[in-house]
Structure 1
């Protein structure tokens, strides 16, 4: 299949980026840049994004006017995502934006239904709450807007000190740069962890999370750094965890001595080379167990372990359930 053929067979995900009055520009630029890069970095999914608003143009937080915006659609297809940007307080001499906000809230209330995913960035959660779309959901927003969301959505579980929150078909981020964090998380789920990692590296941002955020894929563990040589080594291991990697071979990929790579790997990735290889092999074994009926001998072999006993010993460092129980739990 040629590259053009692969593009033709992409799964299309419609994305509507809703711009309220005085849109916070970074709330739009960061997340949409993630989608743009995702369309470049992989061939399985196409994010078909468009910018919509109640007016054909909007003044942004920095004074830049965004024009040629599409009108609010009468219908949004199933499987679509609506990204609701945050905004800033209008200047004192600005026209009253309350009628426009009321229009947006009414449209959101009618447009968002089961099968549509709503993503709020920063204070966008306030408008979503006003539209009656956050009640019964866990969510977050900018620290300055938490009480407003609670007022508009009294049954919402509004969480502070979060980068972003995922609850069923609602995704919300704290504000400004965290919109990019949230979109990287979504890109990882909708395409692949490797695609999200590649995008993050291109944008020179970390795959951040806090202890209360949705867990990143184990494939992304140890990637919260910007050292290019260590990323090259990790890319090689991630591409073929079952390979019998030696420290000398990995040092060659990183173009440094074995001693130097051991030190830098621990410093930047936060774990040893051996621990990282083992984690990637266990992650591969989890995928094999969940998606095949191979016996433990073959699972261990395909995952790079010398034997089932070796696999179980390493596995126990990362998983509470033994491999056989894990397989049963994924089948339930």
Structure 2
């Protein structure tokens, strides 16, 4: 589990006719992350805020959002600015409010974003990347947007490395997504980075969405692998194993959690997770052991906290699933 970060101001920047799903989808993901952190006895990570050039703006579906904050002149705490997309007909004729928002981004947020130690980030959903380009925020970073707007993005940001066919792209402090539901994928990815894989998995399950990744993302954590399904019994077992890896699990106790027979649980895991329940248990224990080793634990201690009965059992499991050995990790942490 990562160390608890400083609380992040999540600043959603609205422009006229902003796509409502670009706002609501990621915002719900971050809200649910706070809720699951609270249930785990941890402090909330995100403070959701909403800002615009005016106090009220109409969204893409005609809903008017009121009570919006003025665009801030300063960023005194780590701030993730989120730029939302707009319908194509709105993009074709940028409004005065759009130009004012781009000017504010370039004048106030661009200098803050260049301060690597401050913890600021830029998140763009769909055509929000075009607004970032107009404000001069992309530089030579890798980025993406909706597939219909890639050529326009290349025109607006000629120095940027525009990536085709990606759900989202993360390059340093710049995180961009292809649009609409891809904003949820990006939010889940960032929740995992900030709060841990288990919190992201819980949020995805609440939202009834897959935990997806793209070729641009790092290798999927074992805590998230085999969870690209919606079966509640399999999720119950995976949740229980992730929360209590040291418990003396066997097929009988796992089946009791799922409320199905052992034979049926084997079939469910094969169909929905692609592995057996005991294989999944072993991979989760290995990940807990690996994290303990990276934090400086001895092989014996790592085996104990992960639920292995001995160093030998840990080494045998390691050889089945991972390269090298536990002692290689120990040596690397002391190098």
Report the TM-score, using the length of structure 2 for normalisation: 0.89
SS at match of 2:203: helix
Correspondence for 1:264: 268
Correspondence for 1:17: 12
> Which deviates more from structure 2 when the two are superposed, residues 256-265 or residues 155-164?
155-164
Provide Cα deviations, 1:157-184, integer angstroms capped at 9, x if missing partner.
2112111111111111110001011111
Correspondence for 1:134: 138
The answer to whether residue 96 in structure 2 is matched with residue 99 in structure 1 is yes
Provide Cα deviations, 1:193-224, integer angstroms capped at 9, x if missing partner.
22222221111111112333344432111111
Identify which of 318, 322, 327 aligns with 1:324.
Answer: 327
For residues 73-88 of structure 1, what are the structure 2 equivalents within 5 Å? Answer: 73-88=72-87
CA–CA distance in structure 2, aligned partners of residues 54 and 212 of structure 1: 34
Identify which of 13, 18, 40 aligns with 2:35.
Answer: 40
The answer to whether residue 198 in structure 2 is matched with residue 194 in structure 1 is yes
The answer to whether residue 180 in structure 2 is matched with residue 176 in structure 1 is yes
CA–CA distance in structure 2, aligned partners of residues 308 and 40 of structure 1: 37
Contact 2:168 2:214 in 1 (8 A): no
Provide Cα deviations, 1:10-38, integer angstroms capped at 9, x if missing partner.
94211110012210110001001112212
Correspondence for 1:54: 53
SS at match of 2:88: coil
Contact 2:10 2:79 in 1 (8 A): yes
In the TM superposition, residue 91 of structure 1 has moved relative to its aligned partner by: 6.2
Q: 1:297 to 1:10 in 2, by over 3 A?
A: closer
Identify which of 141, 159, 184 aligns with 2:163.
Answer: 159
Provide Cα deviations, 1:127-176, integer angstroms capped at 9, x if missing partner.
11121111221111110111122122222221121111111111111100
Contact 1:13 1:45 in 2 (8 A): no
In the TM superposition, residue 100 of structure 1 has moved relative to its aligned partner by: 2.3
CA–CA distance in structure 2, aligned partners of residues 160 and 153 of structure 1: 15
Contact 2:143 2:160 in 1 (8 A): yes
Structure 1, unaligned stretches of length 5 or more? 1-8
SS at match of 1:120: strand
SS at match of 1:50: strand
Contact 2:56 2:64 in 1 (8 A): yes
In the TM superposition, residue 242 of structure 1 has moved relative to its aligned partner by: 2.7
The answer to whether residue 308 in structure 2 is matched with residue 305 in structure 1 is yes
> Which deviates more from structure 2 when the two are superposed, residues 77-86 or residues 306-315?
306-315
Q: 1:41 to 1:306 in 2, by over 3 A?
A: closer
Aligned residues: 321
In the TM superposition, residue 187 of structure 1 has moved relative to its aligned partner by: 1.4
Q: 1:330 to 1:123 in 2, by over 3 A?
A: farther
CA–CA distance in structure 2, aligned partners of residues 193 and 45 of structure 1: 16
> Which deviates more from structure 2 when the two are superposed, residues 118-127 or residues 42-51?
42-51
Report the TM-score, using the length of structure 1 for normalisation: 0.90
> Which deviates more from structure 2 when the two are superposed, residues 14-23 or residues 208-217?
208-217
In the TM superposition, residue 235 of structure 1 has moved relative to its aligned partner by: 1.1
Correspondence for 2:294: 290
